[in-house]
Structure 1
Amino acid sequence: MKLRQIEAFRAVMQAGSTTGAAEELHTSQSNVSRLITQLEADTRLVLFERSGGRLSPKPEAKALFREVERVFVGLKSLAYAADSIRNLGSGRLRIASIPGIGMSFLPRVVQRFRQSRPDVTVSIHTNTSNTVEEWVSSQFCDVGIVAFVSAAATCQAIALPDAEVVCLLPKGHRLAGKSRMKATDLRGEQYISLVHGDGSREETDRVFDQEGVERVLSFEAQYSATCCEMVKLGLGVTLAHPLVATDYVGQGIKVLPFSPSINYPNFLLYPPHGAASQLAEEFAALLRDQFEREIVSWQ
C-alpha cells in the first residue's frame, strides 16, 4: 500500500464519490479510480461495489476506513507535536503523582504554571508511588511526585520537605476547641481511615497502637480527599497530609496540628539521564516553591 492510495481511499469514503475525492485531492477522477484499483490489488480486498460508474463501499471498506482514520488521527498528533517543538512555550506536559497530592495540591501548581505557559497542555496522572516511578522512568510522564523511592529506581529523585500530618474534624465536634490534637484525645472516636495497604495507614495505626488508643474504625477510603469529604459530612475525624487539608480549610472543618508527630515524606522525580525537558524543569521549580510555601504555612 502506498500513501497516495490511502489518501485516495480516504477521500472517496469522506466525499462519497470519486468526483468529490478528485476535487479534494486536486487530481482527476480517473486517477482516483486508478489508485483505488491499485489499493484493492495490493490489499487483495474488494472494497467497493461498482455500478454505473459509482463506487459503493462494502463492509471491508468501512472496516479499513476505521483503521485509516486512526492512523490519520495519529498523524495529526505528530503534526501538533512538531508545532509544539517549534514554538517555545507550547507543548504538552505530563505529570504523575500519588493521588493525595495529585487531587489537591497539583492543580494549584498548574494554576501558577498556566500564567507563564498558557499554551501548554497539562495532563495529570495519579497512581501509586511504584507506578508513578515507572511512568517517569519510561518517560511516559515528564515529572512525578511520590511518597517513597524504590531501591531499584532509575529516576532522579529530589527530597521535598517532610510534611507533618494534621487532624481534621467537623467544626461542631466536641474537640474542635483544642489548639492541638493528641492521639489520646481520639480514644473511642469515630475515625475515618485510609484502606489497608497504604503506607501512611500503616504508620498511623502504629502510632495509635504505641499510644494505646483504640478508635472506632467505621469508615475506610482509598483516597485522603475522600476521608476529608466524609469529615465535612460529620461522619468522623481523620488525619491527613497538610497539602490535602488545605482544600478543606473554611469548609466546615477544623484543622489542628497533631502529636505525636507523623511525617509524610515526598520526592520529586525526573526522568533518568538528564532527560527532563525545559517545560518539566520550569514546572518542577514552581512545584518545589509551592510545596515549600504551603508546608511552611502549616508549621
Structure 2
Amino acid sequence: MHDDVIDIRLLEAFAAVMSAGSITGAAKLLGRSQPVVTRQIQDLEADVGYQLFSRNGPRIAPTAKGVLFHAEVERLLLGLKHVRERAAAIGAGALPVLSLAALAAGVVPGALAAIDGDLLPAHVHVQSLSAENVAQSVLSQSADFGLASLPIQHPGLDVHWVCEVPCVACLAADHPLAKKKAIRLKDLTGRRLLTMANPYRLRRRVEAALERAGVRPREMIETNASLAAIAMAKQSLGIAIIEPVLTAGLDMSGVVTRRLDAAIPFLFAAISPAGRELSPTVAALNQAVRAAVTLMPGARLHEGSAAFADAPDADQFERADR
C-alpha cells in the first residue's frame, strides 16, 4: 500500500458496492455514473495492492480480504460522519453528539430515557456490538461510552465499574420446564442447549458449570448474540443460558426466564476512553446505567478498577470481596 492517504471517495465507492452488492446499485446510491464507480474500485484495489472483489461477468462478490477490509472502512466512515456532526454541533453551540457502544443493550434504552432531557443531545448513536468491537470503538473514541463483557483490559480504557450478575435460563412459555421456579443444571441433560459461540467469555463459564454438574446436553446451537438465543428458545429450539441484562429491557412474550440452581456469573464493565473526563451527558448515562443494573436479581457491583477488567472468571471478585 502507498504511504499517502487513500482518497475518501474511493472508500465511499467500496462501501457502497458492499452495501448494494453491485456496481450499478452502488452508482445509484452515490449518484455517480457506473464507469466512475468501476474506476474508483479499480483505483482502490491498485492502492491497497490486492483484489477486493472477484468478478464473474456482470456478477461481483467480495474476496476474503475485501470482507476484512470492509470492517475497517465501515468504522472509518462512521467515525468521519461523527466528526462532521460534532463539528456542526460545536459551530451551532449545541450539545455534542453522544455515541455509545453496548454489548448489554437491554438496559441502554431505559437509561437514556432516565437522562434529563436538557442533557440529551440532538444526535445519539447507539451501536450493539460484540465486546471486542465495543472496546475498539471506545479506544478509537468513535464511542464516548461502552458496556462490554469481561475479560477486557487495555491501558487506553477507563473502567468505571464492573457488574456481576447470575445467568438465567430462557425457554418457551409452553416448555415443560417452564412450570418450575428454578431450572436445575441436571434438567438440561439430554436436551438441546442454546449457547454463546465465543469460547473466551460466557461460553467458557457455562461449559465449566455443566462439567461440574456432570451434565451433557444432547445437542447445541451456537450463536454470537443473546437476542438470537432468545428468539430460538421462543421457537422451542432449545433452552438458552444467557445473561439477564438483555432480557431486563425486552418484551419477553412467548418466553420465560428462570433462575438456575448453580451460579454462572456474567461479568461486564462500563468503559470510556482513558484520561478523558466524562461530559455531563456521559456521566448522567453512566449513573443511569449503573442504577439500572443494580436492580437485576443477584447483581453485585464492583467499583471501577483496571485490575478487575482482565478477570477471566468470578474468582477474582470473590477474593476481592473478602
CA 1:113–1:154: 2 relative to 1, 3 Å: same
Query: CA 1:249–1:180 in 2, change beyond 3 Å: closer, same or farther?
Result: farther
Instruction: Look up the match of 2:47.
Output: none
Other-structure match for 1:156: 158
Distance, in Å, in 1 between the alignment partners of 2:86 and 2:180 is: 58
Number of positions where the alignment pairs a residue of Structure 1 with one of Structure 2: 224
Which aligned pairs between 1:141-290 and structure 2 lie closer than 5 A?
A: 141-148=143-150, 150-197=152-199, 199-247=201-249, 250-290=252-292
1:95 aligns with 2:104: no
Q: 1:149 to 1:212 in 2, by over 3 A?
A: closer
Q: Which secondary structure state, in structure 2, belongs to the residue aligned with residue 213 of structure 1? A: coil
Q: Is the 8 A contact 1:132 1:145 kept in 2?
A: yes
Larger % of helix: which? 1
Question: Could you tell me which residue of structure 1 aligns to residue 141 of structure 2?
Answer: 139
Equivalent in the alignment of 1:127: 129
Evaluate the alpha carbon distance shift between residue 107 and residue 249 of structure 1 in structure 2; reply closer, same or farther with a 3 A threshold: closer
Checking the alignment, whether the CA contact within 8 Å between 2:101 and 2:143 is kept in structure 1 is yes
Residues 275, 224 of structure 1: CA spacing in aligned structure 2 closer, same or farther, 3 A cutoff?
Answer: same
**Shift, 1:145, TM fit:** 1.0
Q: Deviations over 1:76-102 (max 9, x none)?
A: 746522245x23xx331011222xx12
2:98, 2:121 within 8 Å by CA — same for their partners in 1? no
The residue identity in structure 2 corresponding to 1:222 is N
Given the two structures, how large is their TM-score scaled by the length of structure 1? 0.66
Distance in 1 separating the partners of 2:250 and 2:177: 18
After superposition, residues 22-171 of structure 1 pair within 5 angstroms as 77=85, 80-83=88-91, 86-87=93-94, 90-98=95-103, 101-102=104-105, 104-113=106-115, 115-148=117-150, 150-171=152-173
Aligned counterparts of 1:209 and 1:163: Cα–Cα separation in 2: 20
Q: Is the 8 A contact 1:249 1:255 kept in 2?
A: no
Whose radius of gyration is greater, 1 or 2?
1
SS in 2 for 1:139: coil
Residue 185 of structure 1: CA displacement? Answer: 1.1
Gaps of 5+ in 2: 1-34, 40-80, 301-322
**Residues 103-136 of structure 1: per-residue CA shift (max 9 Å, x gap):** x222222232374545431111233333322322
Deviation of 1:219 (Å): 2.0
Structure 1 residue runs of 5 or longer lacking an equivalent are 1-58, 64-72
- For the Cα contact (< 8 Å) 1:168–1:255, is it kept in 2? yes
Q: State the secondary structure of the residue aligned to 2:247.
A: helix
RMSD, aligned CA: 3.0
With normalisation by structure 2, the TM-score equals 0.61
Distance between the aligned counterparts of 1:122 and 1:138, measured in 2?
17
